[in-house]
Structure 1
């Protein structure tokens, strides 16, 4: 991968912030979009804008073709067995809420157990809290290892015959931890339960094979992988999606509406009520095509190279607490840290004055903050368009920010 050539596809990267060249390290929150994605969306609106599926005129047929081509691209990207298993949603949050309401309400009963972890983004925690309340089920947190991944050995003693749902992130949005999804799937399947995987932070950074993982449901978002905002995917095994009930009703998802009742369209349209985000799906296809051209293996290896460089150097700096695995092969390109005695918001402000965009706060993971015994953390997240030189500048700025807030030195 020629990073200099790749970066030319991202016009947003070539600007200054506070009179410094922009270094964008907030990729775990959202990623930048290449010209190819922007052009695909613009081309749709300029030439093919029409509603999909029901129109017989030329523009509608062209729009429908592109929309369904996007679904096939997603199917191949995650290795789903059929396009019937690929639902377009507004994003990971919507996808997970659909499963909790449309499927969880069906299979969870009073006294059952729902397994989650302290690693979860609130989007993969609050829906299960609400399901547990509705059904008077028990919410159970699976133990974590010292480095912050799910402890499979300990989980074996926790998961019981009462287990119905295991909801877990494949990669932590705070520590970059990569969880053993296939092993966890085997544990919950052994007791007749189902696994729901939050893939928002894994899908952009590594090869995802939902059949190999044996995931029952898998959710991710376009904007985390150089696609547009407002578009996401819910994968579900076909038999489970047939069983699952829609949570939104209206146009497109119906088969026939009678005076007192209605029937639903076949998969996947059964769940896609209303006019979909057509431009978003087309933009997502362009993003996946772009990632495929680079290669997901190359993307993951590039992030590992940056982590191999940064992790040991950060650990040499006094007064820095680093969270997550110290082995670069066991994490994505996320670096979460704190500077002793300095609030993470001040840290992020200091970096911004250096032209470097990082994030600070609880990262929508308050239970994890409590687990780590901190109120907030600072997070720098790298992607395939970030360079070795940017990683080096991050270290230089980290020392400058630390010295400024601890000793008042510039």
Structure 2
């Protein structure tokens, strides 16, 4: 890990405890982070201001699929910083076409709507789905509905939390936008009952990450695709966390050979360097947008496009998808060994796992804090569930060491 310059070290002279107190004094308390203050990072490892190293088993909720400061991504960002960073979409730039071409090839779809954050991609997809329903499907004005799954996590805007079933995300933020129907996840019968002539789209996560890495039954995604085709409804897959190699395939829907009408990408698309997201869809779907109907000052900026193109290049060879699949088997085997030894149940797909810990041992937060003390960083979700999402660049040795640490903490 490269050390910082003396000048930068001097600027970071405050201790972790001092910085935590300073943050709490001046930041909104919308997060409850673990009490670790990270100052440097490389690959799968981070270092706090006191110099202690930790193995990062969260990878920025999959935003760091390629690890911290991947050399190819950092180099792409540096090159672009020396040339051009922003034009707005009032003008064209020389990076955007290549970025969109790469995403089309990677996803098997046609057009890209570049945005910045995952929530922006979801909001954009909602607008596009409604416009498509009116212009193409013939739904009467202002009558379009979108079907979503319970326990979803698609972002934090008021529209999105309005169809969340998580009271912490939802309560206190109404009134909410109408037009959404919530059905149980992984329930094709309920989904079928909810779709009618007003339905513009079915919007789901192929794997529900925030809910605890919930993986649907085999055939569910294919059933969603068949239902939406039969009813003339869009299938929108939110792959913001699950996509770009995380599950051992480029997209999580690839496990069932499903091609949605639109795919939402984010997090890892920016390589952990800049926020980048995109709606990638069929030509006739994104084709409903006309100049002035939707936009973003920073969406598709040259810096984001350069980094996003470098991310696409890393995925072209399939190396990271294969690593996720192979190391995912190591992760699965390690969790199977711990089942009954503190682990009640687990769900694993590639290098992504949700682990239900025996509540008698501790809450998810308590387990996360104990792991932090042992040099491993993870994040809890609900109750006594923690999730693991290490960088796809992690070595097998480091992954096995993290599993050994988990075993120690649980016993």
Whether 1:242 and 2:280 are equivalent positions in the alignment is no
> In the superposition, relative to structure 1, how do residues 357 and 338 fare at CA in structure 2: closer, same or farther (>3 Å)?
same
TM-score normalized by the length of structure 1: 0.70
Whether 1:304 and 2:328 are equivalent positions in the alignment is yes
Candidates 378, 392, 409, aligned match of 2:400 = 392
Match for residue 126 of structure 2? 100
> In the superposition, relative to structure 1, how do residues 178 and 73 fare at CA in structure 2: closer, same or farther (>3 Å)?
farther
Post-superposition shift, 1:40?
Answer: 0.7
> In the superposition, relative to structure 1, how do residues 312 and 155 fare at CA in structure 2: closer, same or farther (>3 Å)?
same
RMSD: 3.5
Match for residue 226 of structure 2? 186
Match for residue 29 of structure 2? none
Query: Where do residues 55-74 of structure 1 align in structure 2 (5 Å cutoff)?
Result: 64-74=93-103
How far, CA to CA, are the matches of 1:97 and 1:220 in structure 2? 12
Candidates 354, 367, 390, aligned match of 1:347 = 367
Match for residue 114 of structure 1? 146
Q: Is the 8 A contact 2:338 2:407 kept in 1?
A: no
How far, CA to CA, are the matches of 1:155 and 1:22 in structure 2? 43
CA offsets per residue over residues 33-72 of structure 1, 9 Å max, x none?
41110111111112345637777xxxx8xxx222321221
Post-superposition shift, 1:397?
Answer: 1.9
Post-superposition shift, 1:101?
Answer: 3.1
CA offsets per residue over residues 348-369 of structure 1, 9 Å max, x none?
111111111101234xxxxxxx
Unaligned stretches of 5+ residues in structure 1: 1-9, 145-149, 246-253, 255-263, 265-269, 363-374, 404-410
How far, CA to CA, are the matches of 1:34 and 1:178 in structure 2? 32
Q: Is the 8 A contact 2:356 2:384 kept in 1?
A: no
Q: Is the 8 A contact 1:16 1:22 kept in 2?
A: yes
Match for residue 33 of structure 2? none
Candidates 280, 284, 287, aligned match of 2:311 = 287
- The more displaced of 162-171 and 44-53 is 44-53
Considering fraction of residues, name the structure with more helix. Answer: 1
Post-superposition shift, 1:123?
Answer: 2.2
Post-superposition shift, 1:306?
Answer: 2.3
How far, CA to CA, are the matches of 2:143 and 2:73 in structure 1? 47
Post-superposition shift, 1:284?
Answer: 1.2
Q: Is the 8 A contact 1:335 1:380 kept in 2?
A: yes
> In the superposition, relative to structure 1, how do residues 242 and 24 fare at CA in structure 2: closer, same or farther (>3 Å)?
same
Post-superposition shift, 1:285?
Answer: 0.9
Q: Is the 8 A contact 2:147 2:202 kept in 1?
A: yes
Post-superposition shift, 1:200?
Answer: 1.3
Post-superposition shift, 1:305?
Answer: 2.0
SS of the aligned residue for 2:356 comes to strand
Post-superposition shift, 1:120?
Answer: 1.7
Post-superposition shift, 1:20?
Answer: 5.8
How far, CA to CA, are the matches of 2:89 and 2:178 in structure 1? 41
Candidates 162, 177, 183, aligned match of 2:215 = 177
Match for residue 302 of structure 2? 278
SS of the aligned residue for 1:116 comes to strand
Candidates 275, 300, 325, aligned match of 1:230 = 275
Whether 1:34 and 2:60 are equivalent positions in the alignment is no
Post-superposition shift, 1:154?
Answer: 5.7
SS of the aligned residue for 1:336 comes to strand
How far, CA to CA, are the matches of 1:308 and 1:377 in structure 2? 16
Q: Is the 8 A contact 1:348 1:359 kept in 2?
A: yes
Q: Is the 8 A contact 1:96 1:127 kept in 2?
A: no
Unaligned stretches of 5+ residues in structure 2: 1-40, 134-138, 165-174
TM-score normalized by the length of structure 2: 0.70
> In the superposition, relative to structure 1, how do residues 53 and 359 fare at CA in structure 2: closer, same or farther (>3 Å)?
closer
How far, CA to CA, are the matches of 1:290 and 1:95 in structure 2? 22
Post-superposition shift, 1:126?
Answer: 6.3
The size of the alignment, in residue pairs, is 338
> In the superposition, relative to structure 1, how do residues 222 and 74 fare at CA in structure 2: closer, same or farther (>3 Å)?
farther
- The more displaced of 89-98 and 181-190 is 181-190
